[in-house]
Amino acid sequence: GTTRHYKFNIQLHNVTRLCKTKSVITVNGKFPGPRIVAREGDRVVIKVVNNVSNNVSIHWHGIRQLRSGWADGPAYVTQCPIQSGQSYVYNFTIIGQRGTLFWHAHISWLRATLYGPIVILPKKNASYPFPKPHKEVPIIFGEWWNADTEAVISQALQTGGGPNVSDAYTINGLPGPLYNCSANETFKLKVKPGKTYLLRLINAALNDELFFSISNHTLTVVEADAVYVKPFETDILVIAPGQTTNVLLRTKPNPRNSTFLMAARPYFTGQGTFDNTTVAGILEYKLPSPKAVNTPISSLQIPTLPPINATSFVANFSSKFRSLANAQFPANVPQTVDKKFFFTVGLGSSPCPKNQTCQGPNGTKFAASVNNISFTNPTTALLGAYFSRRSNGVYTTDFPSFPLMPFNYTGTPPNNTGVANGTKVVVLPFNSTVEVVLQDTSILGAESHPLHLHGYNFFVVGQGFGNFDPQKDPQNFNLVDPVERNTIGVPSGGWAAIRFRADNPGVWFMHCHFEVHLSWGLKMAWIVLDGKLPNQKLPPPPADLPKC
Protein backbone atom coordinates (compact mmCIF):
# COMPACT_ATOMS: atom_id res chain seq x y z
CA GLY A 1 0.00 0.00 0.00
CA THR A 2 0.92 3.65 -0.28
CA THR A 3 0.91 6.31 2.39
CA ARG A 4 -1.75 9.04 2.29
CA HIS A 5 -1.04 12.29 4.07
CA TYR A 6 -3.70 14.67 5.33
CA LYS A 7 -3.57 17.85 7.36
CA PHE A 8 -6.53 18.71 9.54
CA ASN A 9 -6.48 22.30 10.75
CA ILE A 10 -9.09 22.64 13.46
CA GLN A 11 -10.39 26.19 13.00
CA LEU A 12 -13.45 28.36 13.40
CA HIS A 13 -15.50 29.13 10.34
CA ASN A 14 -18.76 31.01 9.77
CA VAL A 15 -21.55 28.81 8.45
CA THR A 16 -25.06 30.00 7.50
CA ARG A 17 -28.01 27.64 7.76
CA LEU A 18 -31.72 28.41 8.18
CA CYS A 19 -30.90 32.12 7.71
CA LYS A 20 -28.63 32.20 10.76
CA THR A 21 -24.87 32.55 10.68
CA LYS A 22 -22.75 31.10 13.42
CA SER A 23 -19.10 30.38 13.99
CA VAL A 24 -18.52 26.64 14.12
CA ILE A 25 -15.50 24.42 14.74
CA THR A 26 -14.41 22.88 11.43
CA VAL A 27 -11.57 21.02 9.78
CA ASN A 28 -9.86 23.32 7.26
CA GLY A 29 -12.89 25.66 7.22
CA LYS A 30 -15.11 22.98 5.69
CA PHE A 31 -18.52 21.87 6.89
CA PRO A 32 -18.99 18.90 6.70
CA GLY A 33 -15.29 18.15 6.88
CA PRO A 34 -12.99 16.82 4.16
CA ARG A 35 -13.18 13.32 2.79
CA ILE A 36 -10.44 10.81 3.50
CA VAL A 37 -9.84 8.46 0.58
CA ALA A 38 -7.54 5.45 0.79
CA ARG A 39 -7.24 1.91 -0.43
CA GLU A 40 -7.33 -1.23 1.66
CA GLY A 41 -3.74 -1.79 2.79
CA ASP A 42 -2.76 1.90 2.71
CA ARG A 43 -1.21 3.77 5.58
CA VAL A 44 -3.04 6.97 6.53
CA VAL A 45 -1.20 9.77 8.30
CA ILE A 46 -3.27 12.73 9.48
CA LYS A 47 -1.70 15.67 11.26
CA VAL A 48 -4.34 17.35 13.41
CA VAL A 49 -3.47 20.90 14.48
CA ASN A 50 -5.73 22.50 17.07
CA ASN A 51 -6.28 26.20 16.33
CA VAL A 52 -9.37 26.66 18.50
CA SER A 53 -9.65 27.20 22.25
CA ASN A 54 -11.51 23.90 22.87
CA ASN A 55 -9.73 20.62 23.54
CA VAL A 56 -10.07 18.37 20.50
CA SER A 57 -9.71 14.70 19.60
CA ILE A 58 -10.61 12.85 16.38
CA HIS A 59 -11.85 9.25 16.06
CA TRP A 60 -11.67 7.20 12.84
CA HIS A 61 -14.95 5.44 13.38
CA GLY A 62 -14.91 1.78 12.40
CA ILE A 63 -11.22 1.63 11.47
CA ARG A 64 -9.99 -1.46 13.27
CA GLN A 65 -6.71 0.11 14.36
CA LEU A 66 -4.96 -3.26 14.56
CA ARG A 67 -2.13 -2.68 17.05
CA SER A 68 -2.43 1.07 16.48
CA GLY A 69 -4.76 1.87 19.37
CA TRP A 70 -2.88 5.11 20.07
CA ALA A 71 -4.51 6.48 16.91
CA ASP A 72 -8.10 5.54 17.81
CA GLY A 73 -9.01 8.93 19.27
CA PRO A 74 -11.67 8.86 22.02
CA ALA A 75 -10.63 11.47 24.58
CA TYR A 76 -9.55 10.07 27.96
CA VAL A 77 -9.75 6.52 26.60
CA THR A 78 -6.88 6.16 24.13
CA GLN A 79 -5.42 9.65 24.38
CA CYS A 80 -5.55 12.92 26.26
CA PRO A 81 -7.17 15.68 24.21
CA ILE A 82 -5.16 17.81 21.80
CA GLN A 83 -5.04 21.15 23.60
CA SER A 84 -5.29 24.54 21.97
CA GLY A 85 -2.16 25.28 19.95
CA GLN A 86 -0.99 21.66 19.99
CA SER A 87 -0.98 18.95 17.34
CA TYR A 88 -1.02 15.16 17.10
CA VAL A 89 -0.30 12.85 14.17
CA TYR A 90 -2.75 9.96 13.76
CA ASN A 91 -0.98 7.13 11.99
CA PHE A 92 -2.66 3.85 11.07
CA THR A 93 -2.86 1.19 8.37
CA ILE A 94 -6.16 -0.01 6.96
CA ILE A 95 -6.05 -3.78 7.24
CA GLY A 96 -8.75 -6.07 5.83
CA GLN A 97 -11.38 -3.37 5.41
CA ARG A 98 -12.93 -1.68 2.39
CA GLY A 99 -16.11 0.37 2.16
CA THR A 100 -17.46 3.46 3.89
CA LEU A 101 -16.66 4.70 7.38
CA PHE A 102 -16.41 8.20 8.82
CA TRP A 103 -14.31 10.31 11.14
CA HIS A 104 -15.67 12.53 13.90
CA ALA A 105 -14.58 14.46 16.95
CA HIS A 106 -14.66 12.25 20.05
CA ILE A 107 -14.82 14.77 22.86
CA SER A 108 -17.80 16.56 24.33
CA TRP A 109 -20.37 17.10 21.52
CA LEU A 110 -17.92 18.57 19.04
CA ARG A 111 -18.85 15.99 16.46
CA ALA A 112 -21.93 18.13 15.81
CA THR A 113 -19.78 19.99 13.28
CA LEU A 114 -16.55 17.97 13.14
CA TYR A 115 -17.22 14.97 10.91
CA GLY A 116 -16.55 13.72 7.41
CA PRO A 117 -16.51 10.57 5.24
CA ILE A 118 -13.80 7.90 5.06
CA VAL A 119 -13.87 6.12 1.70
CA ILE A 120 -11.84 2.91 1.57
CA LEU A 121 -11.46 1.62 -1.97
CA PRO A 122 -10.61 -2.03 -2.64
CA LYS A 123 -6.96 -2.88 -3.28
CA LYS A 124 -5.69 -2.00 -6.75
CA ASN A 125 -7.03 -4.47 -9.33
CA ALA A 126 -9.54 -5.86 -6.82
CA SER A 127 -13.15 -5.39 -7.89
CA TYR A 128 -16.41 -4.97 -6.02
CA PRO A 129 -18.57 -8.08 -5.60
CA PHE A 130 -21.33 -6.08 -7.39
CA PRO A 131 -21.60 -4.20 -10.72
CA LYS A 132 -19.02 -1.47 -11.06
CA PRO A 133 -20.76 1.83 -10.33
CA HIS A 134 -20.69 4.72 -12.80
CA LYS A 135 -20.05 7.06 -9.86
CA GLU A 136 -19.69 6.96 -6.08
CA VAL A 137 -21.29 9.58 -3.83
CA PRO A 138 -20.94 9.95 -0.05
CA ILE A 139 -24.21 11.00 1.62
CA ILE A 140 -23.66 11.97 5.22
CA PHE A 141 -26.57 12.73 7.56
CA GLY A 142 -26.14 15.20 10.39
CA GLU A 143 -27.99 17.48 12.76
CA TRP A 144 -27.93 21.26 12.88
CA TRP A 145 -28.59 23.54 15.83
CA ASN A 146 -29.09 27.29 15.56
CA ALA A 147 -27.60 27.57 19.05
CA ASP A 148 -23.89 27.16 19.68
CA THR A 149 -22.74 23.60 20.31
CA GLU A 150 -21.58 24.68 23.77
CA ALA A 151 -25.06 25.90 24.66
CA VAL A 152 -26.59 22.69 23.36
CA ILE A 153 -24.27 20.58 25.52
CA SER A 154 -24.81 22.54 28.68
CA GLN A 155 -28.57 22.56 28.29
CA ALA A 156 -28.54 18.79 27.86
CA LEU A 157 -26.18 18.09 30.73
CA GLN A 158 -26.55 20.76 33.35
CA THR A 159 -30.29 20.68 33.69
CA GLY A 160 -30.14 16.90 33.52
CA GLY A 161 -32.99 17.11 31.07
CA GLY A 162 -33.99 15.13 28.04
CA PRO A 163 -32.22 15.05 24.69
CA ASN A 164 -31.81 18.34 22.99
CA VAL A 165 -33.86 18.96 19.93
CA SER A 166 -31.93 20.01 16.87
CA ASP A 167 -33.30 22.60 14.46
CA ALA A 168 -32.77 20.49 11.36
CA TYR A 169 -31.40 17.28 9.98
CA THR A 170 -28.92 17.67 7.16
CA ILE A 171 -27.68 15.78 4.09
CA ASN A 172 -24.04 16.65 3.45
CA GLY A 173 -24.52 19.61 5.79
CA LEU A 174 -27.66 20.93 4.02
CA PRO A 175 -31.14 21.00 5.62
CA GLY A 176 -33.08 21.18 2.34
CA PRO A 177 -36.31 22.75 1.10
CA LEU A 178 -38.74 21.53 3.78
CA TYR A 179 -37.28 23.88 6.39
CA ASN A 180 -37.94 27.60 6.53
CA CYS A 181 -35.37 29.74 4.83
CA SER A 182 -33.42 26.76 3.56
CA ALA A 183 -34.30 26.16 -0.10
CA ASN A 184 -30.88 27.31 -1.27
CA GLU A 185 -29.22 24.85 1.10
CA THR A 186 -30.37 21.68 -0.61
CA PHE A 187 -28.26 18.66 -1.47
CA LYS A 188 -28.54 17.79 -5.15
CA LEU A 189 -27.47 14.48 -6.64
CA LYS A 190 -27.09 14.82 -10.41
CA VAL A 191 -27.43 11.57 -12.30
CA LYS A 192 -27.63 10.24 -15.84
CA PRO A 193 -30.39 7.85 -16.92
CA GLY A 194 -29.75 4.11 -16.94
CA LYS A 195 -26.62 4.10 -14.77
CA THR A 196 -25.62 2.54 -11.45
CA TYR A 197 -24.51 4.81 -8.60
CA LEU A 198 -22.91 3.73 -5.35
CA LEU A 199 -24.30 5.84 -2.49
CA ARG A 200 -22.14 5.76 0.60
CA LEU A 201 -24.62 6.55 3.39
CA ILE A 202 -23.31 7.64 6.77
CA ASN A 203 -25.35 8.59 9.83
CA ALA A 204 -23.36 11.23 11.71
CA ALA A 205 -26.44 12.62 13.51
CA LEU A 206 -25.98 13.01 17.25
CA ASN A 207 -29.13 11.62 18.76
CA ASP A 208 -31.35 10.05 16.11
CA GLU A 209 -31.66 6.93 14.03
CA LEU A 210 -33.03 7.81 10.61
CA PHE A 211 -35.27 6.42 7.90
CA PHE A 212 -34.13 7.27 4.36
CA SER A 213 -35.76 6.85 0.98
CA ILE A 214 -35.70 8.20 -2.59
CA SER A 215 -39.07 8.68 -4.30
CA ASN A 216 -39.85 6.10 -6.98
CA HIS A 217 -36.46 4.40 -6.70
CA THR A 218 -35.43 1.09 -5.17
CA LEU A 219 -32.04 0.74 -3.51
CA THR A 220 -29.84 -2.36 -3.27
CA VAL A 221 -27.92 -2.70 0.00
CA VAL A 222 -24.44 -4.13 -0.64
CA GLU A 223 -22.39 -3.19 2.39
CA ALA A 224 -22.69 -2.25 6.05
CA ASP A 225 -20.00 -0.72 8.28
CA ALA A 226 -17.35 -1.38 5.61
CA VAL A 227 -18.15 -5.07 5.24
CA TYR A 228 -19.88 -6.49 2.14
CA VAL A 229 -23.29 -8.06 2.72
CA LYS A 230 -25.49 -10.32 0.62
CA PRO A 231 -27.28 -7.80 -1.62
CA PHE A 232 -30.95 -7.08 -0.91
CA GLU A 233 -33.40 -4.55 -2.27
CA THR A 234 -35.36 -2.05 -0.27
CA ASP A 235 -37.31 1.18 -0.77
CA ILE A 236 -36.58 2.46 2.73
CA LEU A 237 -33.43 2.24 4.83
CA VAL A 238 -32.87 2.55 8.55
CA ILE A 239 -29.52 3.86 9.66
CA ALA A 240 -28.41 4.49 13.24
CA PRO A 241 -25.79 7.02 14.35
CA GLY A 242 -22.42 5.34 13.87
CA GLN A 243 -23.66 3.08 11.08
CA THR A 244 -22.70 3.29 7.42
CA THR A 245 -24.53 1.58 4.56
CA ASN A 246 -23.52 1.33 0.92
CA VAL A 247 -26.39 1.06 -1.56
CA LEU A 248 -26.63 0.84 -5.32
CA LEU A 249 -29.03 3.22 -7.02
CA ARG A 250 -30.00 2.19 -10.56
CA THR A 251 -31.32 5.25 -12.35
CA LYS A 252 -34.33 4.94 -14.64
CA PRO A 253 -33.52 4.50 -18.34
CA ASN A 254 -36.41 6.76 -19.41
CA PRO A 255 -37.66 8.86 -16.51
CA ARG A 256 -40.81 10.91 -17.08
CA ASN A 257 -39.68 13.58 -14.62
CA SER A 258 -36.24 14.98 -14.23
CA THR A 259 -36.42 15.54 -10.46
CA PHE A 260 -37.25 13.35 -7.46
CA LEU A 261 -37.02 13.99 -3.73
CA MET A 262 -34.95 11.99 -1.27
CA ALA A 263 -35.74 12.38 2.42
CA ALA A 264 -34.70 11.29 5.91
CA ARG A 265 -36.43 11.65 9.25
CA PRO A 266 -36.07 10.01 12.65
CA TYR A 267 -36.94 6.62 14.02
CA PHE A 268 -37.49 7.29 17.70
CA THR A 269 -38.81 5.08 20.50
CA GLY A 270 -37.86 6.90 23.68
CA GLN A 271 -39.64 9.46 25.77
CA GLY A 272 -39.35 13.18 25.72
CA THR A 273 -39.22 15.77 23.04
CA PHE A 274 -37.57 15.12 19.74
CA ASP A 275 -37.03 16.62 16.34
CA ASN A 276 -39.65 15.10 14.05
CA THR A 277 -38.72 17.13 10.99
CA THR A 278 -37.58 15.95 7.57
CA VAL A 279 -34.46 16.68 5.60
CA ALA A 280 -34.89 16.47 1.85
CA GLY A 281 -32.50 16.46 -1.07
CA ILE A 282 -32.97 16.32 -4.81
CA LEU A 283 -32.20 13.59 -7.30
CA GLU A 284 -31.85 15.35 -10.63
CA TYR A 285 -31.59 13.60 -14.00
CA LYS A 286 -29.59 15.15 -16.80
CA LEU A 287 -31.95 14.65 -19.71
CA PRO A 288 -31.71 15.82 -23.33
CA SER A 289 -33.28 19.28 -23.24
CA PRO A 290 -36.58 18.73 -25.12
CA LYS A 291 -37.48 15.99 -22.66
CA ALA A 292 -36.46 17.80 -19.50
CA VAL A 293 -39.44 18.69 -17.34
CA ASN A 294 -38.42 20.79 -14.41
CA THR A 295 -40.97 20.21 -11.71
CA PRO A 296 -41.03 22.86 -8.98
CA ILE A 297 -39.87 21.43 -5.64
CA SER A 298 -43.18 22.24 -3.96
CA SER A 299 -45.02 19.83 -6.24
CA LEU A 300 -42.55 16.96 -5.82
CA GLN A 301 -43.66 13.98 -3.82
CA ILE A 302 -41.91 13.34 -0.51
CA PRO A 303 -40.98 9.65 -0.28
CA THR A 304 -43.14 7.58 2.02
CA LEU A 305 -41.37 6.86 5.31
CA PRO A 306 -42.55 4.70 8.24
CA PRO A 307 -44.08 6.32 11.34
CA ILE A 308 -41.63 7.60 13.93
CA ASN A 309 -41.89 4.56 16.26
CA ALA A 310 -42.01 1.82 13.60
CA THR A 311 -40.03 -0.72 15.63
CA SER A 312 -41.23 -3.80 13.75
CA PHE A 313 -40.18 -2.22 10.45
CA VAL A 314 -36.73 -1.60 11.92
CA ALA A 315 -36.41 -5.16 13.28
CA ASN A 316 -37.48 -6.60 9.94
CA PHE A 317 -35.03 -4.38 8.07
CA SER A 318 -32.06 -5.20 10.31
CA SER A 319 -32.78 -8.94 10.04
CA LYS A 320 -32.11 -8.74 6.29
CA PHE A 321 -28.37 -8.11 6.71
CA ARG A 322 -26.21 -11.20 6.13
CA SER A 323 -22.47 -11.55 5.63
CA LEU A 324 -21.32 -12.72 2.21
CA ALA A 325 -19.62 -15.65 3.98
CA ASN A 326 -18.03 -17.02 0.82
CA ALA A 327 -14.51 -18.20 -0.01
CA GLN A 328 -13.27 -14.72 -0.89
CA PHE A 329 -14.99 -12.97 2.02
CA PRO A 330 -15.39 -15.56 4.78
CA ALA A 331 -17.27 -14.86 8.00
CA ASN A 332 -14.96 -15.97 10.79
CA VAL A 333 -17.67 -16.23 13.40
CA PRO A 334 -16.37 -17.57 16.73
CA GLN A 335 -18.07 -20.96 17.09
CA THR A 336 -17.15 -21.32 20.74
CA VAL A 337 -17.06 -18.68 23.46
CA ASP A 338 -14.40 -18.17 26.14
CA LYS A 339 -16.01 -15.21 27.90
CA LYS A 340 -19.72 -14.53 28.21
CA PHE A 341 -21.26 -11.25 29.27
CA PHE A 342 -24.80 -10.04 29.80
CA PHE A 343 -25.00 -6.24 29.66
CA THR A 344 -28.08 -4.20 30.34
CA VAL A 345 -28.02 -0.95 28.40
CA GLY A 346 -30.39 1.83 29.21
CA LEU A 347 -31.40 4.86 31.12
CA GLY A 348 -31.61 5.37 34.84
CA SER A 349 -31.23 8.26 37.19
CA SER A 350 -29.01 9.69 39.86
CA PRO A 351 -29.71 12.28 42.57
CA CYS A 352 -30.22 15.81 41.32
CA PRO A 353 -27.27 18.03 42.23
CA LYS A 354 -28.05 20.85 44.66
CA ASN A 355 -29.11 24.17 43.13
CA GLN A 356 -30.30 22.48 39.94
CA THR A 357 -33.66 21.51 38.62
CA CYS A 358 -33.58 18.11 37.02
CA GLN A 359 -36.06 16.67 34.57
CA GLY A 360 -35.59 12.96 35.33
CA PRO A 361 -38.23 10.83 37.12
CA ASN A 362 -39.29 12.29 40.53
CA GLY A 363 -36.97 15.24 40.05
CA THR A 364 -33.86 13.09 39.64
CA LYS A 365 -31.15 13.60 37.07
CA PHE A 366 -31.15 11.40 33.99
CA ALA A 367 -28.25 8.94 33.84
CA ALA A 368 -27.44 6.02 31.62
CA SER A 369 -25.51 2.88 32.34
CA VAL A 370 -24.21 -0.50 31.32
CA ASN A 371 -25.00 -3.07 34.05
CA ASN A 372 -26.00 -0.18 36.33
CA ILE A 373 -22.53 1.34 36.10
CA SER A 374 -22.53 4.86 34.74
CA PHE A 375 -19.07 5.39 33.29
CA THR A 376 -17.14 8.40 34.56
CA ASN A 377 -14.44 9.85 32.32
CA PRO A 378 -11.05 9.57 34.01
CA THR A 379 -8.77 12.61 34.18
CA THR A 380 -6.04 10.89 32.18
CA ALA A 381 -6.28 8.45 29.27
CA LEU A 382 -6.96 4.79 30.12
CA LEU A 383 -4.62 3.46 27.45
CA GLY A 384 -1.62 5.40 28.73
CA ALA A 385 -2.37 4.41 32.33
CA TYR A 386 -2.68 0.75 31.33
CA PHE A 387 0.42 0.78 29.13
CA SER A 388 2.63 2.37 31.76
CA ARG A 389 1.19 0.04 34.44
CA ARG A 390 0.07 3.09 36.38
CA SER A 391 -3.62 2.34 36.63
CA ASN A 392 -3.83 3.21 40.32
CA GLY A 393 -6.83 5.43 40.81
CA VAL A 394 -7.46 5.82 37.07
CA TYR A 395 -9.69 2.76 36.62
CA THR A 396 -10.67 -0.47 38.31
CA THR A 397 -11.00 -3.88 36.66
CA ASP A 398 -14.22 -4.95 38.40
CA PHE A 399 -16.75 -4.13 35.69
CA PRO A 400 -19.64 -6.56 36.39
CA SER A 401 -20.21 -9.35 33.85
CA PHE A 402 -23.90 -9.36 34.74
CA PRO A 403 -26.27 -6.59 35.87
CA LEU A 404 -26.10 -5.56 39.51
CA MET A 405 -29.86 -5.27 39.75
CA PRO A 406 -31.71 -8.05 37.95
CA PHE A 407 -35.33 -7.42 37.01
CA ASN A 408 -37.88 -8.10 34.32
CA TYR A 409 -36.71 -5.80 31.55
CA THR A 410 -39.98 -5.78 29.69
CA GLY A 411 -42.29 -5.39 32.64
CA THR A 412 -43.42 -2.35 34.57
CA PRO A 413 -40.45 -0.14 35.26
CA PRO A 414 -38.88 -1.22 38.57
CA ASN A 415 -38.60 1.21 41.45
CA ASN A 416 -34.86 1.06 41.52
CA THR A 417 -33.58 3.05 38.58
CA GLY A 418 -30.37 4.01 40.37
CA VAL A 419 -26.93 3.83 38.84
CA ALA A 420 -23.49 3.77 40.42
CA ASN A 421 -20.71 5.91 38.99
CA GLY A 422 -17.35 4.40 38.19
CA THR A 423 -14.49 3.99 35.74
CA LYS A 424 -14.55 0.22 35.47
CA VAL A 425 -13.15 -1.97 32.71
CA VAL A 426 -13.25 -5.62 31.68
CA VAL A 427 -9.89 -7.32 31.05
CA LEU A 428 -9.80 -9.87 28.21
CA PRO A 429 -6.94 -12.28 27.47
CA PHE A 430 -5.48 -11.95 23.97
CA ASN A 431 -7.41 -13.90 21.34
CA SER A 432 -10.24 -14.91 23.66
CA THR A 433 -13.63 -15.29 22.02
CA VAL A 434 -16.27 -13.05 23.53
CA GLU A 435 -20.06 -13.06 23.52
CA VAL A 436 -22.03 -10.10 24.79
CA VAL A 437 -25.80 -10.08 25.09
CA LEU A 438 -26.98 -6.47 25.08
CA GLN A 439 -30.37 -6.13 26.75
CA ASP A 440 -32.43 -2.95 26.54
CA THR A 441 -33.63 -2.31 30.07
CA SER A 442 -36.85 -0.38 29.54
CA ILE A 443 -36.26 1.21 32.93
CA LEU A 444 -37.56 4.54 31.76
CA GLY A 445 -39.37 3.17 28.75
CA ALA A 446 -38.06 0.98 25.96
CA GLU A 447 -35.57 2.64 23.68
CA SER A 448 -33.35 1.53 20.83
CA HIS A 449 -29.64 2.12 21.57
CA PRO A 450 -27.02 2.08 18.80
CA LEU A 451 -24.13 0.32 20.56
CA HIS A 452 -20.70 0.91 19.04
CA LEU A 453 -17.50 -1.03 19.74
CA HIS A 454 -14.07 0.46 19.01
CA GLY A 455 -11.18 -1.62 17.65
CA TYR A 456 -13.35 -4.47 16.38
CA ASN A 457 -16.10 -5.60 14.12
CA PHE A 458 -18.48 -8.03 15.78
CA PHE A 459 -20.93 -10.57 14.43
CA VAL A 460 -24.58 -10.03 15.30
CA VAL A 461 -25.46 -13.65 16.04
CA GLY A 462 -28.97 -13.02 17.31
CA GLN A 463 -31.57 -10.47 18.26
CA GLY A 464 -35.09 -10.48 19.58
CA PHE A 465 -37.76 -8.77 21.65
CA GLY A 466 -38.50 -9.14 25.35
CA ASN A 467 -36.13 -10.70 27.86
CA PHE A 468 -33.18 -12.66 26.49
CA ASP A 469 -33.66 -16.33 27.36
CA PRO A 470 -30.23 -17.89 28.02
CA GLN A 471 -31.64 -21.41 27.50
CA LYS A 472 -33.75 -20.98 24.39
CA ASP A 473 -32.40 -18.01 22.43
CA PRO A 474 -28.82 -19.25 21.78
CA GLN A 475 -30.31 -22.26 19.97
CA ASN A 476 -31.35 -19.89 17.20
CA PHE A 477 -28.08 -18.00 16.90
CA ASN A 478 -26.78 -17.59 13.36
CA LEU A 479 -23.16 -18.78 13.41
CA VAL A 480 -22.97 -19.15 9.63
CA ASP A 481 -23.51 -15.79 7.91
CA PRO A 482 -24.39 -13.18 10.57
CA VAL A 483 -23.77 -9.55 9.63
CA GLU A 484 -20.43 -8.14 10.74
CA ARG A 485 -20.48 -4.53 11.90
CA ASN A 486 -19.21 -2.03 14.44
CA THR A 487 -22.55 -0.51 15.53
CA ILE A 488 -25.78 -2.40 16.31
CA GLY A 489 -29.18 -0.94 17.14
CA VAL A 490 -30.18 -2.91 20.25
CA PRO A 491 -33.91 -3.32 19.62
CA SER A 492 -36.27 -1.21 21.65
CA GLY A 493 -37.60 -3.53 24.39
CA GLY A 494 -35.36 -6.32 23.17
CA TRP A 495 -31.82 -7.66 22.96
CA ALA A 496 -28.96 -8.32 20.55
CA ALA A 497 -26.16 -10.88 20.91
CA ILE A 498 -22.73 -10.17 19.45
CA ARG A 499 -19.51 -12.18 19.19
CA PHE A 500 -15.93 -11.12 18.49
CA ARG A 501 -12.40 -12.42 18.89
CA ALA A 502 -10.20 -10.25 21.12
CA ASP A 503 -7.22 -10.20 18.75
CA ASN A 504 -6.43 -6.47 18.95
CA PRO A 505 -4.49 -5.53 22.10
CA GLY A 506 -5.27 -2.16 23.67
CA VAL A 507 -8.07 -0.30 25.44
CA TRP A 508 -11.33 -0.19 23.52
CA PHE A 509 -14.38 1.90 24.19
CA MET A 510 -17.92 0.56 23.82
CA HIS A 511 -20.84 2.97 24.04
CA CYS A 512 -24.21 4.11 22.83
CA HIS A 513 -23.70 6.34 19.78
CA PHE A 514 -26.46 8.72 20.90
CA GLU A 515 -24.38 11.63 22.13
CA VAL A 516 -26.74 12.36 24.99
CA HIS A 517 -26.55 8.77 26.28
CA LEU A 518 -22.77 8.79 25.90
CA SER A 519 -22.66 11.89 28.07
CA TRP A 520 -24.98 10.29 30.63
CA GLY A 521 -22.60 7.34 31.02
CA LEU A 522 -23.83 4.58 28.67
CA LYS A 523 -20.27 3.50 28.00
CA MET A 524 -17.59 1.10 29.23
CA ALA A 525 -14.14 -0.05 28.15
CA TRP A 526 -12.36 -3.32 27.45
CA ILE A 527 -8.68 -3.92 28.06
CA VAL A 528 -7.38 -6.55 25.66
CA LEU A 529 -4.03 -7.91 26.85
CA ASP A 530 -1.00 -8.47 24.65
CA GLY A 531 -0.38 -11.90 23.19
CA LYS A 532 2.93 -13.72 23.55
CA LEU A 533 4.34 -13.16 20.07
CA PRO A 534 5.92 -9.84 19.10
CA ASN A 535 3.22 -9.18 16.50
CA GLN A 536 0.54 -9.65 19.15
CA LYS A 537 1.63 -6.72 21.29
CA LEU A 538 0.63 -3.08 21.29
CA PRO A 539 3.69 -0.98 20.34
CA PRO A 540 4.71 1.93 22.62
CA PRO A 541 2.97 5.31 22.19
CA PRO A 542 4.16 7.83 19.58
CA ALA A 543 6.35 10.64 20.95
CA ASP A 544 3.75 13.35 20.25
CA LEU A 545 0.90 11.63 22.13
CA PRO A 546 -0.88 14.51 23.95
CA LYS A 547 -0.56 14.82 27.71
CA CYS A 548 -3.42 15.67 30.04
CB of 466 to ligand C2O, least distance (A): 28
The residue among 57 and 350 lying less far from ligand C2O, judged by its C-beta, is: 57
The residue among 63 and 446 lying less far from ligand C2O, judged by its C-beta, is: 63
C-alpha torsion 507→510→515→516, nearest 10: -110
DSSP 3-state helix, strand, coil percentages of the chain (rounded to 5)? 10, 40, 50
Give the amino acid at 402.
F
* Residues 168, 162: Cα–Cα separation, whole Å: 18
| Burial of 505 per CB tally in 10 Å (0-12, 13-18, 19+) | buried
DSSP 75: B
Q: Report CA 142 to chain centroid distance, whole Å.
A: 11
* Residues 42, 539: Cα–Cα separation, whole Å: 19
The residue among 225 and 481 lying less far from ligand C2O, judged by its C-beta, is: 225
The residue among 98 and 513 lying less far from ligand C2O, judged by its C-beta, is: 513
With beta carbons less than 8 A apart as the criterion, state whether 219 and 249 touch: yes
CB of 179 to ligand C2O, least distance (A): 26
* Residues 245, 201: Cα–Cα separation, whole Å: 5
Which positions ≥6 away from 154 have C-beta within 8 Å? none
The residue among 55 and 251 lying less far from ligand C2O, judged by its C-beta, is: 55
CB of 470 to ligand C2O, least distance (A): 28
* Residues 197, 281: Cα–Cα separation, whole Å: 16
Other CB atoms within 10 Å distance of the CB of residue 429? 12
The residue among 285 and 509 lying less far from ligand C2O, judged by its C-beta, is: 509
* Residues 126, 36: Cα–Cα separation, whole Å: 20
The residue among 114 and 280 lying less far from ligand C2O, judged by its C-beta, is: 114
CB of 347 to ligand C2O, least distance (A): 19
CB of 103 to ligand C2O, least distance (A): 9
The residue among 439 and 486 lying less far from ligand C2O, judged by its C-beta, is: 486
Question: Nearest-CB residue to ligand C2O?
Answer: 61
CB of 59 to ligand C2O, least distance (A): 5
CB of 487 to ligand C2O, least distance (A): 8
The residue among 424 and 454 lying less far from ligand C2O, judged by its C-beta, is: 454
The residue among 59 and 67 lying less far from ligand C2O, judged by its C-beta, is: 59
The residue among 64 and 104 lying less far from ligand C2O, judged by its C-beta, is: 104
Give the amino acid at 527.
I
Query: Where does 63-203 have alpha helices with state H?
Result: 149-158
With beta carbons less than 8 A apart as the criterion, state whether 398 and 386 touch: no
CB of 453 to ligand C2O, least distance (A): 9
CB of 104 to ligand C2O, least distance (A): 6
Give the amino acid at 270.
G
With beta carbons less than 8 A apart as the criterion, state whether 488 and 322 touch: no
Could you tell me which of 46, 58, 48, 76 has the C-alpha nearest to residue 509?
A: 76
CB of 139 to ligand C2O, least distance (A): 17
Sheet with 523-528, edge to edge strand ranges: 425-428, 523-528, 506-512, 449-453, 487-490
> How many separate helices (H) and strands (E) can be counted in the chain?
4, 32
CB of 61 to ligand C2O, least distance (A): 4
Could you tell me which of 139, 253, 241, 300 has the C-alpha nearest to residue 488?
A: 241
The residue among 333 and 345 lying less far from ligand C2O, judged by its C-beta, is: 345
The residue among 74 and 281 lying less far from ligand C2O, judged by its C-beta, is: 74
With beta carbons less than 8 A apart as the criterion, state whether 128 and 197 touch: no
* Residues 281, 297: Cα–Cα separation, whole Å: 10
Site residues, ligand C2O (CB under 6 A): 59, 61, 74, 104, 106, 242, 452, 454, 509, 511, 513
How far is the first Cα of the chain from the last one, in angstroms, to the nearest whole number? 34
Residue 19, Ramachandran bin (φ over 0: left; ψ between -120 and 50: alpha; else beta): left
CB of 509 to ligand C2O, least distance (A): 5
CB of 65 to ligand C2O, least distance (A): 12
